[in-house]
Amino acid sequence: MPEQVLWGMEVFLNGLMAGVLYALVALGFVLIFKASGIFNFSQGVMALFAALTLVGIMEGQVPFSHLINAALGTDVHHFGWHVPAFAAILLTMGVMVLLAWAVNQFIFRHLVGQEPIILFMATIGLAYFLEGFGDIMWGSDIKKLDVGLPQGINGMIDEVTYNIFGYGFFIDNLDIWATVIAALLVIVLTIYSQYSKQGRALRAVADDHQAALSVGISLKFIWVLVWSIAGFVALVAGIMWGTKSGVQFSLSLIALKALPVLMLGGFTSIPGAIVGGLIIGVGEKLFEFLVGSMIGGATENWFAYVLALIFLVFRPQGLFGEKIIERV
Amino acid sequence: MKLKLITAAAATLMAAAPAMAELVFPSLSYRTGPYAANGIPFADGYADYFTLLNERDGGIGGEPIRMVECETGYNTEKGVECYEATKGEGSLVYQPLSTGITYQLIPKVTADGIPMHSMGYGRTSAKNGEVFRNIFNYPANYWDGASHAVTHILNENDGDISDKTIALVYHNSAYGKEPIRTLEELSKKHGYDLTLLPVDHPGQEQKSQWLQIRREKPDYVVMWGWGVMNQVAIQEAVNIRYPMENFIGIWWSGSENDVKPAGAGAHGYKALTFHNFGTDYPLYDDLQEYVIDAGKAAGAGDQVGTVLYNRGMYAAMLAAEAAKTAQEIHGTSAITSEMMRDGMEALEMTEEKMAELGLPNFGPEFTVTCENHGGNGYGAVAQWDAEAGEWNMITDYFQSDQEVLAPLIEADSMAYAEENDIEPGCD
């Protein structure tokens, strides 16, 4: 098989894997938008906050230590213990639930019935608040995140493809794990929303707020629930991206990678986020591989948006989005 | 009553005391935003050195130092706002720690007669002091860095790299593109093949670039990155099992922040530098005594001795030495920004002077003149020891290829002079 074809296949597979990582971020957006009609600008920052909290708990870091030391003249930074990854993930989830409650209690409870643009603005404010809050709580240094996920080339795939094609494919172990985890996440979310009482309530609210309220579904509870689930998705995305690059402020920028996925897959569809992520991942990687070198490279950021725009022109609601029908 | 008496006594004392001039050093820092992890140690080092001078020596030449910190968030517009907000305070020199801000401030500081020092960043051709009269970029600039990397590769290959391939992985911005022309010129001279691999901001996703590196197997990879781009690139290099000793970053890709997230895999990664590392210098004893133990350290005081802390401290030290030189030239301790510029233009850093300052073998020797605002272009190569968790210099300071760089600087600076109607010269 010609080298170019083999390389193209490798790029395709890596594009799929990258797409899963994008989809993980996009999922959080979809969950909140579907349930409340809010485009959550702070989803990327939630991923950062979740990852910061996870590392902080794992390392036994004293939250707000700089503030405490400045105010009390102390010199405390660590509790002196290390928390195992699994327990730290559970504790972080608890923090994200608390955050979900606080967000609804102090912000969205007061904005029920407001225009979507007002709710969107509120999430912008929330994003900037969380950025600063995360900094003050855990510090702004770059933190290594190791929850035990393997990284680096998968030796088996390398060997098998080498034996078949004479060229070993590079697939990152972390990407394989991300794919497995994303698949599990989608299955669990689907089962939860289809078969659990809360899940059905969640879908009812997503379909029609007023109708859901009229049959006694608590909007407040549903919003806390959906923000908690989005917080969990943010934590998963934060773990995956944070393992790649260390936990640092730039994690909040992964939201930029989710936007074309949402444009393509639709804002209201979980499968749309996954399929959109895969199309964007493969599309941008193949374009860079085939065309990038001819036009100076670094095409991925903008090409993802071009691809999304093309889909948007022909299907404004996205591939899997609900068709908007307004009757006179 | 007692309070009134104390207030009156204080007022009398203040009126009777001689007027003290302050030496104002603005610090355009970034303690927030995506690059805060790098901005904080630099800003802390910069501040702590001035605090040391105030606490130990009573300032510079008897004049107390006042540092004015302004948060830029590494945002060019905010940086310009900071400049406008602080220039009226009697600011002596600006060090914005951002190539973008530097470019925006070049015409402004020139018009306002305030010097600017872009140490290891900014516009490379500002080395030509005949054109850029208020801009200084000693002791080394980006083009020096590109040449240092190639010289190091030459030294590792007995002076022949005509059959080698070098890939440049760079931040797709004005900063990242700086070394391209130099590397292309050096490629003509030494015969190596150059592959350019741009990475879009912020650089969290670099799979395409590193798959290409895995396919094409360049002999060396040189990196011009900043922030998250560095950590991701080093991790990707580890993932594809690229030999780390053949991976060389510019000095902005060579701090602890860049290598620690990749753990043991980053062992052997190299970076260029124009100053030394660690805390094993007499100056640190003074810093400990007068600043850290006294509870006067900047920020949280947890950055002391890191690469970027040392760089910030070095930047402050060079500013202080230029101020001393200005005081000597003009015979007054209360210097103005114009006098500061003269001091910077006459700055000479020798090993003897560095040893006196408590920093022996810390930075290269260099001389600044009207024609040459960039020093002598000396740099070194450092290597990361992941087990010990420290950077070690593995070469002495060596000079960049002036034969190639001088014409490039001349051409670029003259083009700027023509565009901006500047008559080059030293008057």
C-alpha separations of B186 from B14, B128, B401 in Å: 62, 21, 9
Examine the domain organization and report whether B315 and B347 are in the same domain. Answer: yes
A140 in B contact zone (CB under 8 Å)? yes
Q: Spell out a b/e string for B309-346, using b for 16 or more CB atoms within 10 Å of the CB, else e.
A: bbbbbbbbbbbbbbbbbbbeebeebbbbbebbbbbbbb
**Segment B282-309 mean pLDDT:** 92
Question: What ipTM was assigned to the predicted interfaces of this complex?
Answer: 0.90
The three-class DSSP label of residue B63 is strand
CA-wise closest residue to A278 among A8, A14, A30: A14
Q: Which of residues 235-274 of B touch A (CB under 8 A)?
A: 235, 238-241, 257, 260-261, 263, 265
Residues of A in contact with B207 (CB under 8 A): 14, 17-18, 285
B31 in A contact zone (CB under 8 Å)? yes
pLDDT of residue B60: 97
Q: How far is A319 from chain B (nearest CA, A)?
A: 25
Give the count of Cβ contacts less than 8 A between chain A and B.
Answer: 111
| Pairwise CB contact (< 8 Å): B260 & A152 | no
Q: Using CB atoms within 10 A of its CB, is residue B177 exposed (0-12), middle (13-18) or buried (19+)?
A: middle
Range from A202-211, A220-229, A269-278, B203-212 carrying the lowest mean pLDDT: A202-211
Find the CATH number of the domain harbouring A119. 1.10.3470
Of the residues B273, B288, B323, the one at which a domain ends: B273
**Segment B417-424 mean pLDDT:** 95
Residues of A in contact with B197 (CB under 8 A): 297
Domain count, chain B: 2
The two three-digit tokens of residue B52, written as one number: 């040391």
**Segment A199-221 mean pLDDT:** 84
Residues of A in contact with B208 (CB under 8 A): 11, 285, 288-289, 292, 300
Residue A319 placed within a domain: no
Examine the domain organization and report whether B102 and B85 are in the same domain. Answer: yes
pLDDT in tens, B353-369: 999 999 999 999 999 99
Residue B398 placed within a domain: no
Examine the domain organization and report whether B165 and B193 are in the same domain. Answer: yes
A135 in B contact zone (CB under 8 Å)? yes
Does the pLDDT of residue B61 top 80, yes or no? Answer: yes
CA-wise closest residue to A107 among A123, A95, A92, A93: A123
Does the pLDDT of residue B423 top 60, yes or no? Answer: yes
| Pairwise CB contact (< 8 Å): B204 & A246 | no
* Contact criterion met (CB below 8 Å) for B124 and B175: no
Examine the domain organization and report whether B164 and B264 are in the same domain. Answer: yes
Does the pLDDT of residue B5 top 60, yes or no? Answer: no
- Per the structure, the complete domain to which residue B55 belongs is given by 22-140+277-376
Examine the domain organization and report whether B135 and B81 are in the same domain. Answer: yes
Examine the domain organization and report whether B131 and B28 are in the same domain. Answer: yes
Examine the domain organization and report whether B217 and B281 are in the same domain. Answer: no
Any idea which residue has 């960043």 for tokens?
B121
Of the residues B257, B273, B289, the one at which a domain ends: B273
Percent pLDDT > 70 in chain A is 98
Examine the domain organization and report whether B35 and B101 are in the same domain. Answer: yes
pLDDT grade, residue B174 (50/70/90)? confident
Domain count, chain A: 1
Find the CATH number of the domain harbouring B306. 3.40.50.2300
Examine the domain organization and report whether B128 and B178 are in the same domain. Answer: no
Of the residues B217, B244, B273, the one at which a domain ends: B273
Residue A322 placed within a domain: no
| Pairwise CB contact (< 8 Å): B260 & A7 | no
Residue A326 placed within a domain: no
**CA atoms of B284 and A163, how far apart (whole Å):** 58
Residues of B in contact with A253 (CB under 8 A): 34, 202, 204
* Contact criterion met (CB below 8 Å) for B402 and B314: no
**CA atoms of B224 and B196, how far apart (whole Å):** 11
| Pairwise CB contact (< 8 Å): B196 & A297 | yes
Residue A213 placed within a domain: yes
pLDDT of residue B1: 44
- Per the structure, the complete domain to which residue A277 belongs is given by 3-314
Alpha helices (H) along B178-247: 180-190, 207-216, 228-239
* Contact criterion met (CB below 8 Å) for B382 and B391: yes
Amino acid at B135: I
A14 in B contact zone (CB under 8 Å)? yes
Mean pLDDT of all residues belonging to chain A: 91
Examine the domain organization and report whether B250 and B287 are in the same domain. Answer: no
Examine the domain organization and report whether B136 and B146 are in the same domain. Answer: no
Q: Which residues contact B301 (CB under 8 A, 6 or more apart)?
A: B44, B292
**CA atoms of B205 and B195, how far apart (whole Å):** 19
Examine the domain organization and report whether B114 and B50 are in the same domain. Answer: yes
CA-wise closest residue to B300 among A52, A69, A143, A79: A69
Residue B408 placed within a domain: no
Q: Using CB atoms within 10 A of its CB, is residue B225 exposed (0-12), middle (13-18) or buried (19+)?
A: buried
pLDDT grade, residue A318 (50/70/90)? confident
